[in-house]
Amino acid sequence: MSKQMKKIATGLLAGIMTLTLAACGSDNSGKGNAAATDSGGGNSGGGSGSGKKVTIELAISKSSQDSAFVAQDVLDEFEQKTNIKINLQLLPAEQTATVLQTKLAVDEVPDLIQYNLASATTDLNLERNFEILDNEPWVGRLLNKDVLSAYDHVYSFHYSQDTGMQGVVYNKDISKDLGLEIPKNYEEFLAVCEKIKASGITPVFMPFKDNWAANIWPAAAFADWAAKNEPSLFEDINAGRKKWSDVPEFATFLDQQYEVYKKGYTNTDILSDSYDMAVGKFLNKETAMMFMGDWLIVNVAEKDPNVHLGLFAIPSSEDANLGASPLGGQLFIPKKAKHMAEAKQFLEFLASKEVAQKMVDSQGSVSNFSDVTTPKLPDYKQEIVDQYITPKKTTLTTDAYMIVDRSELYRLLQDEFAGGLDAKGVLKAWDEKFSQLMKDKGVEGF
């Protein structure tokens, strides 16, 4: 090869490599720089008055893209008023946690994230990565700070307070036809199951192929028991002073759920059936009840408003409270957001009386702002408000107190139904895993 040929070949190779590497990096750098370029760079405050257009990034799971926060008319109105554009980063639903973890780890953070509070504490290291919002102007108008708080601080934003109610979803029509009352304790619940079974309908649908579904009963039952009998229990567990297996009632609650299955009150193939079958089961009146959240009622109503479903508390003990989990997807601002001021301005806009009222009206939600009126609610939701929220008969589910990944607990619960572990075995195995995860987090006492 002549020297000239070598030079040409080397030059071509270098060119190709440069292009390849530049192409690999262009996506991130492009996105990352977009906001800075638009805004003229830095945290200038942008927004109205500055005259410069600012683009801020909002990362949201694709499965949440119909959220009221990101309705196009809301985003357009915000942009018109403030000259701040919201750019949505739609993340694949099954990879949302991983993508956000990676972004946070490498400081490639969006300005806003939609996630749920309970999971953010475990998946995204809330304290380290997210801004405390205690001093935001809208916080003083909140009716229920708890649903937006962790570690005694407000970390997230939402206009409603009624998301993520968990208990027993039931078909009111079947209940009425069979003359059933809402059970107040476990024995009454078994009696209800027996009557439904006798009518030829499957009393309870358990879709435990999705192992998280096996956690609805214990998550509410554990929390209800702790709130009424030992309020400092989860604090003690998180400090390593107590173990999950130290509470005999927890094993009892796990046994209860298992007993519902063993007594034949459920679908036969619970480990093969998944949550996505649930709506069909209710629409076809194949099942009368399910341990689930109120989102299932919404899913069923979307398909057929004539199927009347309701929700009552998991009847693990006498007159139990309804489980409340701060799910549904709140908005968070990462501490390292490039446009902190603009992100806070967006929350302030959403919290304004007019916008919050519009969102509450369109979603039929219970307002979380003192000056925003709760519209006429769907029947099921009004019942929840009347029977549980207003008389303060709700309890944050156990998930809200756990600061580690819970998926191993879900697998252990599934294993109970596969015959691999009994209730005590589940708690013992979870103690070991929990201890390891807490140790990994560097929590004192482990």
Partner 1 sequence: MNVSKKLYSYYLIWPALLIYSIFFVLPALIGLFYSFTDWRLDREAIKFIGWDNFERIFTDRTLLLAMKNTAIFAIVTVLGKNLLGIALAVGLNMKLKSKNLLRAVFYSPSILSVLVISIVFTPMLRSDGTINRIFEAVGLPSLSQAWLTNPALVIWTVAFVSIWQHTGFQMAIYLAGLQSISKEYYEAATIDGAGSWRSFRSITIPLLLPAININLMLTLIGGLKVFSEVFVLTGGGPGNASQVVGTIILRSFGEGSWGLGTAVNTLLFAAVTVIAIPLLIFMRRKEVSE
Work out whether 269 is an interface residue with partner 1 (CB under 8 A): yes
Task: By CB under 8 A, tell whether 341 contacts partner 1.
Answer: no
- Residue (102 or 232) nearer to partner 1, CB: 102
Residue nearer to partner 1 on the CB measure, 120 or 351:
120
What whole-number distance in Å separates Cα of residue 256 and Cα of residue 316?
Answer: 8
Residue 412 within binding range of partner 1, rule CB under 8 A:
yes
Residue 418 lies near partner 1 (rule: CB under 8 A): yes
Cβ 239 to partner 1 shortest distance, Å: 17
Nearest residue to 258 (alpha-carbon basis) of 117, 406, 414: 414
* Exposure of 285 in the CB half-sphere (CA atoms within 13 A): 11
Cα–Cα nearest to 214, from 416, 423, 426, 414 = 414
d(CA 256, CA 284): 27
Residues of this chain, 28-57, that bind partner 1 according to CB under 8 A: none
**Of 271, 282, 132, residue with least CA distance to 203:** 282
With contacts defined by CB under 8 A, name the span among 96-104, 233-241, 327-335, 366-374 that binds partner 1. 96-104
**Burial 127-160, CB ≥16 within 10 A → b, else e:** eebbbbbeebebbeebebeebbbbeebbbbbbbb
The answer to whether 155 and 317 have CB atoms below 8 angstroms apart is no
Please, which of residues 155-214 interact with partner 1 by CB under 8 A?
209, 211
Count Cβ atoms below 10 Å from residue 247 Cβ, excluding itself: 19
Give the residue, chosen from 417, 423, 427, 430, that forms a contact with partner 1 under the rule CB under 8 A. 417
Instruction: Decide if residue 405 touches partner 1 (CB under 8 A).
Output: yes
Select the residue interacting with partner 1 from 272, 362, 370, 373 (CB under 8 A). Answer: 272
CA-based torsion, 181, 185, 190, 193: positive or negative: positive
Residue whose CB is less far from partner 1, 286 or 304: 286
- Within 10 Å of residue 294's Cβ, how many Cβ atoms? 24
Residues 123-152 that bind partner 1 (CB under 8 A): 123-125, 128
Number of H helices, E strands in the chain: 17, 12
Q: How many angstroms separate the Cα of 35 from the Cα of each of 31, 38, 53, 86? A: 7, 5, 9, 10
Closer residue to partner 1 in complex, CB, 64/414: 414
CA angle, residues 103, 45, 117, in degrees to nearest 5 = 40
Residue 121: CB minimum distance to partner 1, A: 11
C-beta of 292 vs 412, nearer to partner 1:
412
Under the binding rule (CB under 8 A), the answer on residue 105 touching partner 1 is yes
Span interacting with partner 1, options 150-158, 311-319, 344-352, 437-445, rule CB under 8 A? 437-445
Q: Is 17 in the site for partner 1 (CB under 8 A)?
A: yes
Q: Which stretch binds partner 1 (CB under 8 A): 249-257, 307-315, 317-325, 415-423?
A: 415-423
Interaction of residue 238 with partner 1, rule CB under 8 A: no
Contact range with partner 1 by CB under 8 A, out of 98-106, 130-138, 151-159, 384-392: 98-106
* Minimum CB distance to partner 1, residue 220 (Å): 22
Count CB-CB contacts under 10 A for residue 352.
17
Q: How many residues bind partner 1 (CB under 8 A)?
A: 40
408 binds partner 1 (CB under 8 A): yes
Contact 312, 320 (CB under 8 A): no
Residue (319 or 440) nearer to partner 1, CB: 440
From the CB of 282, what's the least distance to partner 1, in Å? 20
**Of 348, 385, 392, nearest in space to 364 by CA:** 385
Question: Considering the rule CB under 8 A, would residue 93 count as an interface residue with partner 1?
Answer: no
Which CB atom, from 81 or from 441, has the smaller least distance to partner 1? 441
CA 257 – CA 352 distance, rounded (Å): 44
Closest distance between partner 1 and the C-beta of residue 433, in Å? 8
Residue with tokens 């294993």: 415
The reply on whether position 284 binds partner 1 by CB under 8 A is no
CA–CA gap between residue 117 and residue 124 (Å, rounded):
10
Residues, the chain, total? 446
One of 4, 135, 268, 284 touching partner 1 (CB under 8 A): 268
Contact residues for partner 1 (CB under 8 A)? 1, 6, 9, 13, 16-17, 20, 97-98, 101, 104-105, 123-125, 128, 209, 211, 268-269, 271-272, 404-405, 407-408, 411-412, 414-421, 437, 440-442
